Structure 1
Amino acid sequence: MKVELVSKQIIKPSSPTPQNLGIYKLSFIDQITPIFHTRMLFFYPNIENKFANDGIERLKTSLSVTLTHFCPLAGRVKDNKVIECNDKGVEFCETRVRVHGFLSEILKQPDPDIVHQFVPVNDAHLGSGIADASTIGSFIKAWSCTAIGCMAESMLPKYVMESHFPSMEFSNDLPPLELKTSNCITRRFVFESSEITKLKAKSSSKLVEQPTRVEAILALIWKCATMASRTNLGITKRPSKVGQVINIRKRTNPPLPETSLGNCLSNFVAEMEESRVVQIWTYRHWWFT
């Protein structure tokens, strides 16, 4: 497979950001959240080659319009305190992929090394880095609806995070997060819907009568990983922990809108010794006590 860069340009909001919205204050969660370049890939069938005719220009135009509503995403972070909504824009890359065979065949059993080639190289000075998965989802939905002409008022972002989680003054700049490279293996597990239903029923208990899909699958993976680790080391007992990032918009009091722009997430960590979960830390300990 060969990926060729066709063009690269900066897309700016279609209209200037109003002066009263020129400064966006970061929330406390934004300030302490490490900056990651979230990578999301979407694949669509090119029906009758219609996308090649006007799709690229439509994507650019609709992106420009969408950025007028998500103006912080087209701005730049300053001093880990605010975002200057200066309409500097976002990078838009167009590429051409040459591959032997059909993309649909590759996606049936995607190889991480191959899929990784679809993602552009990170450019740290572009973008504001304040969007969690929920915000990115809201942005993608608004962009796609703008492209096909069905954008609704309910899809617009709500700027409420800083009022609920006010920013803080730090005596020193927070050090950048350094991710150490290590030997790791990526695996993809596919669970059929019917099997997930069975797993949920099997994993229910007095403490958790109706586990969610995430809870049931995470518990299974944790159990298998723990057993594999003990087997590989030739031991029968070994403490283990598992963590999960969660969206806390619906868990605040009162709940925040799902379209709240920014980082609104936390971690829970469960610790297990032998075969007993002994402690669980959740978002409640992070933010509300």
Structure 2
Amino acid sequence: MEITITLREVIKPSLPTPDDHRFFPLSLFDQLQLVTYLPMVLFYPKKEGFSEPSHICSQLKRSLSETLTIFYPVAGRREDHTFITCNDEGALYLEAKVNHTMVEFLTPPKLEFLNKLLPCEPNKMHSHTEALPQVLVQVNIFSCGGIAIGTCNLHTLLDGCSGSLFQTTWAATCSGSREKVPSPDFSSASFFFPPVNHLSFHDHVDQNNEDSSAQKMCTTRRFVFGVETIDILRAEAKDDDDDDEPSKPLTRYEALAAFIWRHMTLACKMEYGDSTTPTVAIHIADMRRRMGEPFSRYTIGNILWPVMVFCETMNAETSGRYLVSIAREKFGKLSRELFLRVKNDPSILGSSECVDLPEGIKTKSPIPVVFTSWCGLNFSELDFGWGKPLWVGVRGGDQETLPNVAVIMETDAGMEAWLTMEMQHIANLEEDMEFLRLALPNPSLSNI
């Protein structure tokens, strides 16, 4: 498969940023984020009434320029630990031709080529000292006339929720329905959690970003969990007392995360040859709803908190019910009061007050499994004026990145999970999934 870049340019905001908005303060939680790009590929097949690719590209560039005027910090560059310089340097925009039809690419999805539809290497860690574009776009034109829009959003400012609002605004602007999308809230995050200037803090964050030992050569696999399978997993993980607590039904995410955590951990243990290694699940939780006002789904920034769930002993007999129960216990400790303590004293970050793990856990080198959910972010609803995407991809292929990461998304018939594992673990993971596929009654779990 050949993918050829035909155009490379910078898209600047349609209007210059006013001088009084020249410097945009980051929040404390923006400062804590790894400097990496969050990838996504949206596939739009050619259909009746579909414009010529050249016209579509012109629409995308024009509307991107207008969207950057609204999201003015996204058009700037981070040049300091505490702020973004809103200098209107813009977003990097590429166009590419693909010598295959979209049907050929998607039946089944060619994950080994998916990263070539992205404008940069996804999930690679960068240093805070690099002045990187906040957004990169690659518009891929298939031989059939269909297009795939690949985007990479820098995690410095855009988390999943913020990125969703940016792309929703871009799509609405392109389709002529901008008035339907509320304006972004740029002030609440940094006002409530102002940045810190402590040198030791920044040295620690830079070390985390530049520590290549955390990154390993990994492969991505996609698993689709149909409705039947999810219902089975929910039934297996359901507590006997759940009927007495109708306000707390078992969610799809809870059941699926417990299942993935168990099997990814077992795959790693098979590779390590050590069945006694403990494990920790790290759930990246959106704080907006838990914080309440002034935060909302339109608040821009990394309003995130890592919920760490430790399990000393994980084996094939470990029940989903148990894993859900210990995760619920940790999530139950998230509160507005905790975040207010962080607001008043950022130094407690990393302390036992915030990191609720057993003492001496580092010496045990637990197997980490990171979970992030993009459910409810409406990426599959993005309509630029020619309908919703046929499919939403995240990333694929082999690359150097953080291992043992699961991104969970919704599909029309269930949920899908993108699992990032070290290459040598993949065979064991697939064996483990195959075992479950045979064990479940009437399973609809498939590895695509």
TM-score (norm 1): 0.88
Aligned-partner SS, 1:254: coil
Contact 1:14–1:64 (Cα < 8 Å) also in 2? yes
Q: 1:179-235, CA deviations, whole angstroms, 9 ceiling, x for partnerless residues?
A: 434354422110112322332233122479522222110101122234445556666
**Which of 182, 187, 192 is the aligned partner of 2:216?**
182
Aligned-partner SS, 2:225: coil
In structure 1, the partner of 2:334 is: 284
Shift of the 227–259 alpha-carbon distance from structure 1 to 2, 3 Å rule, reads same
In structure 1, the partner of 2:435 is: none
- One-letter amino acid of the structure 2 residue matched with residue 76 of structure 1: R
**Which of 227, 234, 242 is the aligned partner of 1:193?**
227
TM superposition shift of 1:133: 1.1
In structure 2, the partner of 1:127 is: 133
Unaligned runs of 5+ in 1: none
In structure 1, the partner of 2:289 is: 250
**Which of 177, 182, 195 is the aligned partner of 1:155?**
182
- One-letter amino acid of the structure 2 residue matched with residue 112 of structure 1: L
Q: 1:94-140, CA deviations, whole angstroms, 9 ceiling, x for partnerless residues?
A: 111112xx323432432332111111235964324311111111011
In structure 2, the partner of 1:146 is: 173
Contact 2:91–2:133 (Cα < 8 Å) also in 1? yes
How many Å separate the matches in 2 of 1:96 and 1:56?
12
Q: Find out whether 1:225 has 2:264 as its counterpart.
A: yes
In structure 2, the partner of 1:170 is: 198
How many Å separate the matches in 1 of 2:232 and 2:104?
29
- One-letter amino acid of the structure 2 residue matched with residue 72 of structure 1: P
TM superposition shift of 1:141: 0.5
Contact 2:79–2:85 (Cα < 8 Å) also in 1? yes
Contact 1:8–1:91 (Cα < 8 Å) also in 2? yes
- One-letter amino acid of the structure 1 residue matched with residue 172 of structure 2: C
Shift of the 201–55 alpha-carbon distance from structure 1 to 2, 3 Å rule, reads same
How many Å separate the matches in 2 of 1:85 and 1:192?
44
Counting matched residue pairs gives: 287
Q: 1:146-178, CA deviations, whole angstroms, 9 ceiling, x for partnerless residues?
A: 001101264321011101111111224432513
Shift of the 73–232 alpha-carbon distance from structure 1 to 2, 3 Å rule, reads closer
Shift of the 211–50 alpha-carbon distance from structure 1 to 2, 3 Å rule, reads same
- One-letter amino acid of the structure 2 residue matched with residue 265 of structure 1: L
How many Å separate the matches in 2 of 1:273 and 1:265?
26
How many Å separate the matches in 2 of 1:103 and 1:218?
31
Shift of the 8–196 alpha-carbon distance from structure 1 to 2, 3 Å rule, reads same
How many Å separate the matches in 2 of 1:189 and 1:252?
33
Question: Equivalent pairs: percent with the same residue?
Answer: 28
Aligned-partner SS, 1:5: strand
Shift of the 6–158 alpha-carbon distance from structure 1 to 2, 3 Å rule, reads same
Shift of the 253–145 alpha-carbon distance from structure 1 to 2, 3 Å rule, reads closer
Contact 1:74–1:90 (Cα < 8 Å) also in 2? yes
- One-letter amino acid of the structure 1 residue matched with residue 37 of structure 2: H
TM superposition shift of 1:247: 1.4
Aligned-partner SS, 1:96: strand
Contact 1:75–1:84 (Cα < 8 Å) also in 2? yes
Contact 1:135–1:262 (Cα < 8 Å) also in 2? yes
Contact 1:12–1:89 (Cα < 8 Å) also in 2? yes
Q: 1:11-48, CA deviations, whole angstroms, 9 ceiling, x for partnerless residues?
A: 11111112222221100001111111111111101225
In structure 2, the partner of 1:19 is: 19
Aligned-partner SS, 1:20: helix
Q: Find out whether 1:89 has 2:116 as its counterpart.
A: no
Contact 2:14–2:65 (Cα < 8 Å) also in 1? yes
- One-letter amino acid of the structure 2 residue matched with residue 127 of structure 1: P
TM superposition shift of 1:263: 1.0
How many Å separate the matches in 1 of 2:272 and 2:86?
53
How many Å separate the matches in 1 of 2:46 and 2:171?
16
Contact 1:90–1:126 (Cα < 8 Å) also in 2? no
- One-letter amino acid of the structure 2 residue matched with residue 64 of structure 1: S
TM-score (norm 2): 0.59
Contact 2:172–2:181 (Cα < 8 Å) also in 1? no
Q: Single out whichever of 171-180 and 42-51 deviates more from structure 2.
A: 171-180
How many Å separate the matches in 2 of 1:232 and 1:60?
47
Specify which structure has the higher proportion of strand: 2
Aligned-partner SS, 2:173: helix
In structure 1, the partner of 2:68 is: 67
In structure 2, the partner of 1:118 is: 117
